[in-house]
Structure 1
Amino acid sequence: MALEVRDRLVGPVAGALGAWTVREAAESVLYVETEPDLADTAVFCEAYDVAPESSANCVVVAAKRGGNTVLAACLVLADSRVDVNNAVRRHLGARKASFASLDLVVAETGMEYGGVTPVGLPLGWPLLIDEAVAHTPYVLVGSGQRRGKLILPGSALAQLPGAEVLSGLGV
């Protein structure tokens, strides 16, 4: 159980697991150590014989309207991609949406690139989850670092702070 190995997790993830008010969801999270060189989803799935539909990618999007920028995390199954230009832009009421820069993501989340996870995101960030992820019995996501993965029910992800389940987020 990830709660038992919080000392091996990055600060934001460890803190979020400990503070998660839905205890059953927090207790359902498992942590597995993996090779850092195999962290990228396609490589990970091939090396560990994991079906892409059992793994999810968490990407950060910058949505802009006027002079305001909102950062949001999007979670889709690894066999699909985030519909940034339509689903995300419309849902966030933005004029323009694009993937956030690597430097910004690392600085804002306190996580490693290639390991960004929906568990432990900055407070106030929207977390947009494709409904296919929410309906997955168990899904692998990043752990905040490249050397591990979290495994948890899709339904638990939908109970994270700021989570919104959307139809058509992944295409």
Structure 2
Amino acid sequence: MSQLREPAAVFAELLGWQSALEHTDLLAPPVAAALQALADTPEGRNLASAAKVVEIDPALSDTDALNTEYSLNPEATGNCVLVAGKRSGERRVAACVVRATDFADVNHLVKRLIDVRKASFLPMEQAVEMSGMAYGAITPMGLPADWRLLIDGQVAARDTMLIGSGVRHSKLLVPGALLAALPGAEVIENLGITPA
């Protein structure tokens, strides 16, 4: 097996990073709007300016496929999963961002955080319709404001994290601190569980 590599270096060599703020055509509309909104705040300006985007083959949009194709370090790539449950007839949705090496602790921690009896992943059609993003490219930026946004502590602590862009033909490289600075974001330790 080849040595795992950091996404920042791999795509700098192969495809070339571009400023995400200057290439919003490579982002889903809600993602572009959220990134610009962050850039318009004094505390978020530098974080948003650090966001980079790269075009990829849409067939490689799924994290596992991209990591395999380019031998990427899965600890430097993130997954955003959408989880829902009901309490007293009210539907509660949370977006959980964890490293590609981990699984979101849906059955215990997430269920407790969103205060529901049973939490489950949103079906693909609902995830796409409700997020306004493509499946396999859903990202924490630009999600509905009434959703909980849970960021694993190890994701937030990384200098750079490769995440979806809302569309399948590109990926974003952002500081973990940018994700933690998104409106409503909650940094949760041990949100991600590494399989034994």
TM-score range, shorter chain: over 0.9
Deviation at 1:48, TM superposition (A): 1.8
1:60 equivalent in structure 2? 82
Per mean C-alpha deviation after superposition, the further-off stretch among 49-58 and 119-128 is 119-128
1:156 equivalent in structure 2? 178
1:57 is paired with a residue whose SS is strand
Distance 2:126 2:135 in 1: 10
2:181 is paired with a residue whose SS is coil
2:145 equivalent in structure 1? 123
TM-score by length of 1: 0.97
1:99-154 Cα offsets, whole Å, 9 max, x none, are 01111111111100000001111112111011010111101000001111100111
Distance 1:68 1:125 in 2: 12
Alignment-mate amino acid for residue 153 of structure 2: E
Across the two proteins, how many residue pairs are aligned to each other? 171
1:4 aligns with one of 19, 22, 25 = 22
* 2:149 and 2:186 in contact (8 A); partners too: yes
1:143 equivalent in structure 2? 165
Distance 1:17 1:143 in 2: 11
Q: Where do 4+ consecutive residues of structure 1 move more than 6 Å?
A: none
Distance 1:131 1:18 in 2: 24
| 1:8-157 map, 5 Å | 8-20=26-38, 21=41, 22-157=44-179
Distance 1:16 1:135 in 2: 21
* 1:65 and 1:96 in contact (8 A); partners too: no
TM-score by length of 2: 0.85
Alignment-mate amino acid for residue 7 of structure 1: D
Distance 2:71 2:53 in 1: 17
1:36-57 Cα offsets, whole Å, 9 max, x none, are 1011111101112210000000
State whether structure 2 residue 185 is matched by structure 1 residue 167: no
2:16 equivalent in structure 1? none
2:69 is paired with a residue whose SS is helix
Q: Give structure 2 stretches of 5+ with no counterpart.
A: 1-18
1:160 is paired with a residue whose SS is coil
Deviation at 1:8, TM superposition (A): 2.5
How many percent of aligned residue pairs carry the same amino acid? Answer: 48
Which entry has the higher C-alpha Rg, 1 or 2?
Answer: 2
* 2:34 and 2:141 in contact (8 A); partners too: yes
